Amino acid sequence: MEIDTERRFINVWAKDETLFFLPKEKFIGKTIAEVFPHMESLFSAPITAAIRTGEPQEFEYKHIDPTIDKWFKAKVTMVSKTNQPAEQQRLALTIQDITSRIKQEQALKQTKALLERTNQILESSQKLSNTGGWEFDVLTGEMFWTNQTKLIFEIGENDTINYQDILTLCDPGYDYIFDQHIRRSLEKKEPHDFIFRIRDKKWLRSIGFPVVENNCVVKLRGATMDITEQMKTTQALLEAKNKAEEAAQAKTDFLSVMSHEIRTPLNGIIGISNLLKMNRFQDHQAYVDNLIFSADHLLQLINDILDLTKIDSDHVELVQNEVNLFELLQRITNQFNSLAESKNIDLITFVDPGIPEKIIADAVRINQILNNLISNALKYTDAGKVTVALQALSCDAHKVTIRFTIKDTGIGIPEEYHEVIFDSFKQVQQPASRKHTGTGLGLAITKKLIELHNSHISMESTMGKGTTFRFDIAFDLPQSNMAIDQPSISYSVDTYANKLGDLRVLLVEDNPINAMVAQKQLAYFGIVPDCAYDGLEALSLLKNNAYHIAFIDLHMPGMDGQALSEFVHKHYPDTHIVISTADIMGDVRVRLSEIHAYDILNKPVVLEKLLVFLLKVAEQRSIISMESALDEQP
């Protein structure tokens, strides 16, 4: 465009006239103010400066229509000499579309701002996570570290570092670990992830991956994390875990020893009591019964403690068998009938007719749960009744859910004890109940056994009106194609009195009283055992005699039962080993199984259990057949 000093358009040229927002002829003769009424001030200053100085003037502006995203560059240049009269002076006004350049600059500016913001966020995140980035140029050996990486390695921001410097910072031994992982990453073209230590105080984790070009690794990139606090926490947890395991092992060892030490004299007490009862001294019958009752009570307390320990350590598993629920409940209530009658209390049982006769359950654990609850109900009830009710909540061809309710009209439990009544070693302390004794383990064990059945127990109680316990258990029902573990056969002791005399038995027992009891028990079946009071004496007898079966006490001075059993298994394989022990902890059985000693006779020894082992060996040695054994059952 050519304009005069009056800012009037004289000529207009354009390669593409479509760029004009007005027809070309509309410009000629008009002033800038008339053509660009809203932009006069934008053009006036540069034109004035060009006329005054004679120097070209440039400026940029956006399209006058704000809805059009276009940018332009204007240049004002004098095309005639300034010393000419004003009316003869001319100026050239050129306008260029610079939209693409402006947009590129805007995009570059946005990218730069985004990059700066990203770097700031990355720097902040690295500080928060204590992680730094790095890049290693394999071809030049150049190492690039972010500021956070330098901070982790305690290197100055302006310091440079190479690969060998890193190895120098590593603690002895870890320089080799670092170098081997990096070399493998380069050779195998695979990522790495390893832990190392620097400056004898910091634990770091390096994670990296190779950059491969033309099948060659040209760079390694990755991150380094300061995991010192994590390692300290892990170490503290490990130490705490080890201490907890040591404490648990100490507890197990203590209970194992206590079990042995308490059960050993109990074995003598119960054994002698049963021998006296077998001899039927009528004059002493009441004394013997009381002696057996006291010993059994003490044994039950020990079993409660061991049961609680095994449940707490997850060593209890449910043994599922086909169970006649009606018979089981009848046997349980029969045990308490005499106690209920002596206290003038009605013991009432109700079983929903909709409950199937047979279920799949662990009879021992169900028996234990109901025994504890009924025993407690009778203990704390002095008048009225105790009701045991079984209700079918749901039942189909495969499963039945039964609600067990044990309700009494006893003294009740104070409200402040409702939350803790199921805790171990907790007993209700109130004047009305001080005459009742116990360990406070019954309800704790009951709660845990019910939880083993994926259920929970609830309680309602009112002082002076009684207590109600409820729990629901879902039982599978027997199916025609279901494989059920058959319970062991129970043998009648009287049937085999003096009939197993052909069995040659070695009895190894260091306790004289227990040895005497065992001899008398074996003598009942017609067996005269050879007795050894320690392992060395047993070896002497084994050297000169052949035995069908050896009953070996586990805990003995000198050569203990485990070492003796291992020797017998190796050198006298024809002698069947039965471990006799008062230690019934689960790990004992594991240790014995390692020396192929699977048969364990727990103390106090019950004649029926002793008979099972005797008959087992008698059948193996063809001294007596199992068929004839079953035929002789009364």
Secondary structure of 349-394 in HEC code, one letter for each residue = EEECCCCCCEEEECHHHHHHHHHHHHHHHHHCCCCCEEEEEEEEEE
Is the pLDDT assigned to residue 281 strictly greater than 60? no
Strands 576-581 and 385-395: unpaired
pLDDT attached to residue 6: 86
Mean per-residue pLDDT of the chain:
82
Q: How far is the C-alpha of 135 from the C-alpha of 554, rounded, in Å?
A: 65
Which residues lie below 8 Å from residue 570, measured CB to CB, with a gap of 6+?
none
Same domain, 438 and 393: yes
Side-chain half-sphere CA neighbours of 593 within 13 A: 5
Residue 377 inside a domain? The answer is yes
Q: Find the range with the poorest average confidence among 267-281, 336-350, 517-531.
A: 267-281
State phi, psi for 462 to the nearest 5 degrees.
Answer: -130, 130
Burial class (CB in 10 A: 0-12, 13-18, 19+), 209: middle
Tokens standing for 198? 């620097």
> Angle 389-395-400 (CA atoms, 0-180°, nearest 5)?
65
Is the pLDDT assigned to residue 416 strictly greater than 70? yes
Is the pLDDT assigned to residue 247 strictly greater than 80? no
User: Is residue 332 within 8 Å of residue 372, measured between CB atoms?
Assistant: no
pLDDT attached to residue 488: 47
Q: How many domains does the chain have?
A: 4
Same domain, 337 and 212: no
Is the pLDDT assigned to residue 359 strictly greater than 50? yes
Same domain, 165 and 209: yes
Q: How far is C-alpha 237 from the geometric centre of its chain's CA atoms?
A: 15
**Domain of 595: which CATH number?**
3.40.50.2300
Residue 612, CA distances (Å) to 12, 492, 601, 608 in order: 124, 10, 10, 6
Detail the DSSP E strand segments found in 477-529.
Answer: 505-508
Angle at which helices 442-452 and 285-312 cross, to 10°: 50
Q: pLDDT category, 331, cuts 50, 70, 90?
A: confident
**Domain of 138: which CATH number?**
3.30.450.20
Three-state DSSP class for residue 135: strand
Residue 520 inside a domain? The answer is yes
**Domain of 404: which CATH number?**
3.30.565.10
Q: pLDDT category, 436, cuts 50, 70, 90?
A: very low
Q: pLDDT category, 172, cuts 50, 70, 90?
A: very high
Q: Helices (H), strands (E): how many in the chain?
A: 17, 22
Name residue, tokens 């570059």: 108
User: Is residue 95 within 8 Å of residue 1, measured between CB atoms?
Assistant: yes
Which residues lie below 8 Å from residue 156, measured CB to CB, with a gap of 6+?
150
Among 11, 19, 189, CA closest to 97: 19
Q: pLDDT category, 311, cuts 50, 70, 90?
A: low
Residue 298 inside a domain? The answer is no
Same domain, 391 and 515: no
Three-state DSSP class for residue 483: coil
Same domain, 467 and 397: yes
Residue 399 inside a domain? The answer is yes
- Please name the helix (run of DSSP H) or strand (run of DSSP E) that holds residue 78, with its range, or none: strand 71-78
pLDDT attached to residue 433: 41
Which residues lie below 8 Å from residue 218, measured CB to CB, with a gap of 6+?
137, 138, 139, 211, 212
pLDDT tens per residue across span 370-401: 988 998 899 889 999 999 999 999 999 899 99
Same domain, 92 and 37: yes
Residue 177 inside a domain? The answer is yes
Same domain, 380 and 458: yes
Q: How far is the C-alpha of 530 from the C-alpha of 522, rounded, in Å?
A: 11
Same domain, 348 and 450: yes
State phi, psi for 497 to the nearest 5 degrees.
Answer: -60, 125
Residue 261, CA distances (Å) to 267, 290, 468, 554, 594 in order: 10, 23, 38, 12, 24
pLDDT attached to residue 431: 44
User: Is residue 39 within 8 Å of residue 83, measured between CB atoms?
Assistant: no
Same domain, 91 and 46: yes
Of 197, 226, 255, the residue that ends a domain is 226
Residue 310 inside a domain? The answer is no
Q: pLDDT category, 530, cuts 50, 70, 90?
A: very high
User: Is residue 399 within 8 Å of residue 474, measured between CB atoms?
Assistant: yes
Q: Find the range with the poorest average confidence among 1-5, 20-24, 78-82, 311-315.
A: 311-315
More confident site: 123 or 186 = 186
Among 430, 413, 388, CA closest to 464: 413
Same domain, 391 and 501: no
pLDDT attached to residue 268: 65
User: Is residue 517 within 8 Å of residue 510, measured between CB atoms?
Assistant: no
Q: How far is the C-alpha of 112 from the C-alpha of 120, rounded, in Å?
A: 12
Stretch 90-106: mean pLDDT, rounded?
Answer: 89
More confident site: 283 or 266 = 266
Tokens standing for 388? 């045991």
pLDDT tens per residue across span 540-588: 999 999 999 999 998 888 888 889 999 999 999 999 999 888 655 556 6
Is the pLDDT assigned to residue 280 strictly greater than 70? no
User: Is residue 558 within 8 Å of residue 536, measured between CB atoms?
Assistant: yes
pLDDT attached to residue 159: 87
Which residues lie below 8 Å from residue 469, measured CB to CB, with a gap of 6+?
373, 405, 406, 407, 457, 458, 459
pLDDT tens per residue across span 475-503: 999 886 554 444 444 567 888 888 899 99
Q: How far is the C-alpha of 406 from the C-alpha of 470, rounded, in Å?
A: 7
Q: Find the range with the poorest average confidence among 223-232, 259-268, 514-523.
A: 259-268
Of 448, 476, 504, the residue that ends a domain is 476
Domain with 21, as residue range(s), is 2-97
Q: How far is the C-alpha of 327 from the C-alpha of 214, rounded, in Å?
A: 82
Stretch 509-532: mean pLDDT, rounded?
Answer: 89
- Please name the helix (run of DSSP H) or strand (run of DSSP E) that holds residue 322, with its range, or none: strand 321-324
State phi, psi for 169 to the nearest 5 degrees.
Answer: -70, -25
pLDDT attached to residue 445: 81
Beta-carbon count within 10 A of 296 CB: 15
Same domain, 345 and 429: yes
pLDDT attached to residue 486: 45
pLDDT attached to residue 600: 86
Of 226, 257, 273, the residue that ends a domain is 226
User: Is residue 186 within 8 Å of residue 217, measured between CB atoms?
Assistant: yes
Is the pLDDT assigned to residue 508 strictly greater than 80? yes
Residue 373 inside a domain? The answer is yes
Q: pLDDT category, 512, cuts 50, 70, 90?
A: confident
Same domain, 66 and 151: no
- pTM (2 d.p.): 0.43
Query: Which DSSP state fits 489?
Result: P
Tokens standing for 509? 């027992």
Residue 552 inside a domain? The answer is yes
Q: Find the range with the poorest average confidence among 50-54, 83-87, 560-564, 590-594.
A: 83-87
pLDDT attached to residue 483: 46
User: Is residue 405 within 8 Å of residue 364, measured between CB atoms?
Assistant: no
Q: Find the range with the poorest average confidence among 65-74, 81-90, 405-414, 424-433.
A: 424-433
Which residues lie below 8 Å from residue 537, measured CB to CB, with a gap of 6+?
508
pLDDT tens per residue across span 596-625: 777 888 877 878 888 989 998 988 888 775
